[in-house]
């Protein structure tokens, strides 16, 4: 019975992908947000941290949901392991990419009304 090993591999790879992508997006997103907010690094850092927390929560929930929905299938041989991992890791990767594109679209089209007012309010 390969279910526990397959699930462990799925969780390990999903966690690695999620945290590696999150770290990269966080680092590069700070530069983008700082520029977009007129150099206000404090506000950009706060927004970037909130986006990272939301990113991790949504992805963790999705990864666990996919695992829960897939746990009814028995993984009996190596072909089933490969099928399970490729299908579920593919879903996780597609969801990460879709989330990134949606957030990037929203941020690219977001035009702060008055950045100096936001700075003074902090």
| Per-residue pLDDT reduced to its tens digit, 9-38 | 889 999 999 999 899 988 888 888 888 888
pLDDT at 120: 54
Contact 11, 63 (CB under 8 A): yes
The neighbour count for residue 9, using CB atoms within 10 Å, is 15
d(CA 88, CA 1): 19
d(CA 39, CA 119): 10
Query: Residue 1: which pLDDT band, with cuts at 50, 70 and 90?
Result: low
C-alpha distances in Å from residue 39, one per residue of 10, 77, 110:
40, 55, 15
| Per-residue pLDDT reduced to its tens digit, 69-106 | 776 667 778 888 888 888 888 988 898 888 888 887 88
């Amino acid at each position: 019975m390969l279910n526990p090993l397959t699930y462990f591999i799925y969780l390990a790879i999903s966690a690695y992908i999620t945290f590696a992508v999150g770290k990269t997006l966080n680092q590069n997103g700070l530069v983008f947000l700082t520029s977009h907010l007129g150099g206000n690094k404090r506000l950009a850092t706060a927004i970037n941290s909130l986006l990272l927390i939301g990113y991790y929560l949504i992805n963790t929930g999705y990864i666990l949901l996919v695992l829960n929905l897939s746990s009814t299938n028995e993984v009996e041989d190596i072909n089933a392991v490969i099928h399970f991992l490729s299908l579920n890791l593919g879903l996780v990767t597609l969801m990460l990419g879709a989330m990134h594109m949606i957030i990037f679209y929203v941020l690219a089209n977001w035009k702060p009304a008055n950045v100096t007012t936001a700075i003074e309010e902090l």
